[in-house]
Structure 1
Amino acid sequence: MKTSIVSLAAASLLALASTPSLAHPPIAERPAQEEAAVFEADRAEILAMAGNFKVRFDMQEATPWQQGYAPLDRKISGGHEVVRVIEDTGRRIVLQHILVSEHEGKPHITKHWRQDWEYEPAKVLVYSDRNAWTWEDVPEKMRRGRWSQTVWQVDDSPRYAGWGQFEEQGGLRRWRSNWTWRPLARRDAVRNPVYDRYYAINRHQTTPDGWVHWQDNIKMGLDEGSLKPVVQEYVLNTYTRFDGYNVKAADDYWAATKGYWAAVRSAWDKVATTKGGIAIQEEAQAGTVISARLLTMADEIVEGKLTEGKAKAEALKLIEDNTRMAGGQRVANAGQ
Structure 2
Amino acid sequence: MKILNLLTVLIVLITVNAHAQDKFEQDRKAIKSLAGFYKVNFNYAEVTSPNPEYQFSKPYRSHGNEWAEIIIDEPKRIVIQHMLAINDSTVIKHWRQDWTYEDTDIMLYTQDNAWKKTTLTPAEVKGKWTQKVYQVDDSPRYQGYGTWSHVGGHDAWQSETDSPLPRRESTVRNDYNVLNRGSRIYITKEGWMFEQDNKKVLRSPQGDQLLAVEKGYEEFTKIDPKKFEYAQKWWDTQKTYWADVRDVWTDLTKTSPTDFKVETKVNDKLLYEILFALGDQSIKDKWTSTQNKEKIKVALQPYLAK
Q: Comparing both chains, which one has the higher relative contact order based on Cα–Cα distances under 8 Å and sequence gaps of 6 or more?
A: 1
User: How far 1:293 sits from its partner (Å)?
Assistant: 0.6
CA contact (8 A) 1:275 1:324 kept: no
Letter in 1 for 2:139: S
Letter in 1 for 2:138: D
Whole-Å separation in 1 of the counterparts to 2:190 and 2:282: 35
Letter in 2 for 1:166: W
CA contact (8 A) 2:102 2:122 kept: no
Partner of residue 261, structure 1: 242
CA contact (8 A) 2:37 2:225 kept: no
* 1:196-211 pair list within 5 angstroms: 196-211=177-192
Identity of aligned residues (%): 29
User: How far 1:136 sits from its partner (Å)?
Assistant: 1.7
C-alpha spacing 1:228/1:255, structure 2 compared with 1 (3 Å): same
Q: What stretches of structure 2 of length at least 5 have no aligned partner?
A: 1-13
Whole-Å separation in 1 of the counterparts to 2:111 and 2:22: 39
Which of 93, 97, 101 in structure 1 is aligned with 2:82? 97
- CA-based RMSD of the aligned residues comes to 2.3
Range moving further from structure 2, 47-56 or 163-172: 163-172
Q: What stretches of structure 1 of length at least 5 have no aligned partner?
A: 1-28, 326-336
C-alpha spacing 1:171/1:48, structure 2 compared with 1 (3 Å): closer
* 1:176-191 pair list within 5 angstroms: 176-177=158-159, 179-191=160-172
Matched, 1:145 2:127: yes
Partner of residue 64, structure 2: 79
Whole-Å separation in 1 of the counterparts to 2:15 and 2:238: 43
Aligned residue for 2:200, secondary structure, equals strand
C-alpha spacing 1:279/1:193, structure 2 compared with 1 (3 Å): closer
Partner of residue 164, structure 1: 146
Whole-Å separation in 2 of the counterparts to 1:247 and 1:291: 22
Which of 209, 221, 244 in structure 2 is aligned with 1:240? 221
User: How far 1:260 sits from its partner (Å)?
Assistant: 0.8
Matched, 1:120 2:105: no
Whole-Å separation in 2 of the counterparts to 1:81 and 1:121: 28
User: How far 1:173 sits from its partner (Å)?
Assistant: 2.4
User: How far 1:168 sits from its partner (Å)?
Assistant: 4.3
Whole-Å separation in 2 of the counterparts to 1:80 and 1:33: 39
Structure of greater Rg: 2
Whole-Å separation in 2 of the counterparts to 1:133 and 1:113: 18
Matched, 1:291 2:276: no
Matched, 1:252 2:233: yes
CA contact (8 A) 2:196 2:216 kept: yes
User: How far 1:47 sits from its partner (Å)?
Assistant: 0.2
Letter in 2 for 1:265: R
User: How far 1:322 sits from its partner (Å)?
Assistant: 3.0
CA contact (8 A) 2:46 2:212 kept: yes
Deviations 1:169-205 (A, max 9, x none): 576320011x211011121111133111111211111
Partner of residue 228, structure 1: 209
C-alpha spacing 1:238/1:313, structure 2 compared with 1 (3 Å): same
Which of 13, 18, 27 in structure 2 is aligned with 1:42? 27
TM-score by length of 1: 0.80
Partner of residue 300, structure 2: 319
Whole-Å separation in 1 of the counterparts to 2:207 and 2:265: 23
C-alpha spacing 1:308/1:237, structure 2 compared with 1 (3 Å): farther
Partner of residue 56, structure 1: 41
